[in-house]
Each structure stands twice: as C-alpha cells, then as structure tokens.
Amino acid sequence: MIELRSVSKSYARSDKPAVDSLDLEVKNGEVFGFLGPNGAGKTTTIKMIIGLLRPDRGSIRVEGIDVVKNPISAKRVLGYVPDDVDIWDKVTGREYIRFLASVYGVDSKNLERVNALLDAFELSPVIDDIVQNYSHGMKQKLAIIGSLVHNPPVWILDEPIVGLDPRSSFILKGLMRSHASSGGTVFFSTHVLEIAERICDTIGIIHKGKLIAAGTLEQVKELFASKENQSLEELFLEITGAKLPPGTDRIPGSLGWCDV
C-alpha cells in the first residue's frame, strides 16, 4: 500500500513546484498507472516514494512505513525500476543479482523465481557478461529482475515499457498483474496509454505537479463527464489540454480521431 498526503516538492532553480500538494492512495492488490505529460512530476513523485528525493512537505508511507522517518525499513518493502537504467557497467548480470540478494538478505532457496525470470526474459545465456555489453532493453530487463529479487510487496516502475521488445513487454505486463493478484502493490508511470487502459485497476493523471484525476478509468471518465466510448488517450489529451500543432494530421483509427 502506498499513501501520499499533501506531498510537495520544489527544485532549487525553479519557482514552480514540481509536485504540489499531492494526495494519493494505492491499495494492495492494485495496479496503479501514473500518467502525465513530460515534466508533469511523475518521476519526482516516484523518486520521493522510493526515498531518492525528500519531499518539502507532506508524508509518504509504504506498507504503513514512513519513508522519511524510517527509510531503511521502507526500502526493504520496495522494489524499483528506474526510467534511466544506470546499473553498474562493470559487473556481470550474475554479480548484480548476487549483490542485491546479499544486501536484501535473500537466501538461495528464494532465488528459484529469479532463475525463472532470467529464463523468461532470455537473459540466462548472457548472465556472465558484463552489463556494459548489454543493450538498453537487456539492462532494463536486468533492472526489472533485480527489483524483484527480494519479492517486495510494493513494486514501483518508472516508464518500464520503454526499450522492451514486444515479448518482454508482454511478460512484464503479466508480471505486474500477477504481482497485484498475489496481494502486492504495483505503481508504474507510463506514456503508453493503451497499456494503462488495459492493465491498470486505477489510474492517476498528474499535470504541472498537481494530481488532476485519480480512480478507476470509469471514475475518471465520470469526473470529466467524457463522451461515451471515449478512449483514455482522448481523455488524457482533453484533461491535459494537449493541442496538435497546425498542419498536423490526426491519426484515424481506433483511438477515436476519425470523428474529427
């Protein structure tokens, strides 16, 4: 479970807050999709939840643990996949997993699942190669597996789909769903609205640091009195006030542009 209460964060060189009085609750067993345009405050929010940034105001709790007051306990229940995968370049995949298993105190018996994941993501043949030689997608997959080594109740992913091949993307979506089904919490940010629409139980839309909508897709649609059969993409564009530049063709098809 994740709870954010009146969380705000400003950066030194900006007069506007990156995140402004954010209230949010994600329950156990939920897959929560965090949506917003670039620079809306998604990554800042995620970094505050995992403890990489300190909120200026407000409180953040994961599984009931305050991440500012009790960071070490909070980190034990968190798994995190960053958007920019800066894993140590000079270690092998095996060494990276071994390091995480050691610091999270995971014993060999509980690593069966990791073996299955390495197999599923097709990383087992290159597990003894140094990370420097991995492609972006492979690093992403290693980061995903690394975040699950200690089987965390709360799994946070920042733009996890970017750079993954369709097969891995499919596996990841399945993992996210099964993590929630087994009682865990999944909190992920994405730009791919179709995926959010398909696998999320609840969504939140953040714009210019403020949470402007949260709830199930139906609740969000109701909140904005959207048209019938309006897609999430249309709703998102409407809420965030996105405009196409003059002379740009709207893409016809399933996303609802054809009626314009």
Partner 1 sequence: MTLRVIWFLIKAQFNLAAQLELLGIGRKQKYKHLFLLLIVVALVPFVTSIAVSARALTIASSMVGAWDLPAVLIVSLSQIICVFFGIPHVLSSLYFSKDLKRLKVLPLTPFQIAMGELAPLYLSISLILAVFFWPFAAVTGISFHMGPIFWLNAVLVYLFSPLVPLGLSLLCLTLMMKLTERLPGKDFFRVLSSLIFFAAIVFFQSINANIGTSLSDPGRLVSSLYGYQTFSSRLSRVFPPLQWAARALSSDGPYTLWYSLGFLAASLAFLTVVAAAVSNIVINLSAETQLRRRARAEQIVQVLPDGVTLALLRREHWNLTRTPAFLMTAIMNLMVVPLLLLVSRAATSHGPASLPGLLNQLRGNSLLVPAITGFSGLLVATNQVPSTAVSREGKSFWISRLIPVPPEIQVNAKLLYGMLYGTAQLLVLLISVCFFRILDVASIARLASLSLALTLPLTQIGLLVDLLHPRLQWTHPQQAMKGNYNGLIAGLLGALLVAALAGLFWLFLRMGLGMRVATLAVLPVIGVISAYLQAAVRRLARSQYLQLEF
Chain position carrying tokens 């958007």 = 83
Q: Do the Cβ atoms of 70 and 16 come closer than 8 Å?
A: no
> If binding is defined by CB under 8 A, does position 13 make contact with partner 1?
no
Taking CB under 8 A as the criterion, the residue among 36, 43, 60, 75 binding partner 1 is 75
Q: Which is nearer to partner 1, 47 or 207 (CB)?
A: 47
The rounded distance, in Å, linking the Cα atoms of 25 and 214 is 9
Q: Which is nearer to partner 1, 134 or 236 (CB)?
A: 134
CA 132 to chain centre: 24
Taking CB under 8 A as the criterion, the residue among 126, 144, 180, 220 binding partner 1 is 126
* Residue 10 C-beta: closest distance to partner 1, Å: 12
Three-state secondary structure call for residue 238: helix
> If binding is defined by CB under 8 A, does position 88 make contact with partner 1?
yes
Indicate the Cα dihedral angle 148, 152, 155, 158, nearest 10°: -50
Assigned token pair, 133: 């030689």
From 79-87, 169-177, 203-211, 229-237, span contacting partner 1 (CB under 8 A):
79-87
Q: Which is nearer to partner 1, 104 or 224 (CB)?
A: 104
Q: Do the Cβ atoms of 209 and 11 come closer than 8 Å?
A: no
In this structure, what DSSP letter does residue 34 have?
Answer: E
> If binding is defined by CB under 8 A, does position 194 make contact with partner 1?
no
* Residue 123 C-beta: closest distance to partner 1, Å: 8
Taking CB under 8 A as the criterion, the residue among 57, 94, 177, 208 binding partner 1 is 94
Taking CB under 8 A as the criterion, the residue among 10, 58, 63, 91 binding partner 1 is 91
Indicate the Cα dihedral angle 52, 240, 217, 189, nearest 10°: -20
Taking CB under 8 A as the criterion, the residue among 13, 16, 105, 243 binding partner 1 is 105
- As separate numbers, helices (DSSP H) first and strands (DSSP E) second, the chain gives 9, 10
> If binding is defined by CB under 8 A, does position 162 make contact with partner 1?
no
Q: Could you tell me which residues are beta bridge partners of residue 210? A: 207
Please list, in sequence order, all residues whose beta carbon lies within 8 angstroms of the beta carbon of residue 247, skipping any fewer than 6 positions away: none
> If binding is defined by CB under 8 A, does position 80 make contact with partner 1?
yes
Residues 34-73 binding partner 1 (CB under 8 A) are: 47, 50-54, 71-73
Residue count (the chain)? 260
* CA gyration radius, the chain: 19
Q: Which is nearer to partner 1, 156 or 195 (CB)?
A: 156
> If binding is defined by CB under 8 A, does position 86 make contact with partner 1?
yes
Under the rule (CB under 8 A), what is the footprint of partner 1? 47, 50-54, 71-73, 75-76, 78, 80, 82, 84, 86-91, 94-95, 97-108, 111, 114-115, 118-119, 124-130, 133-134
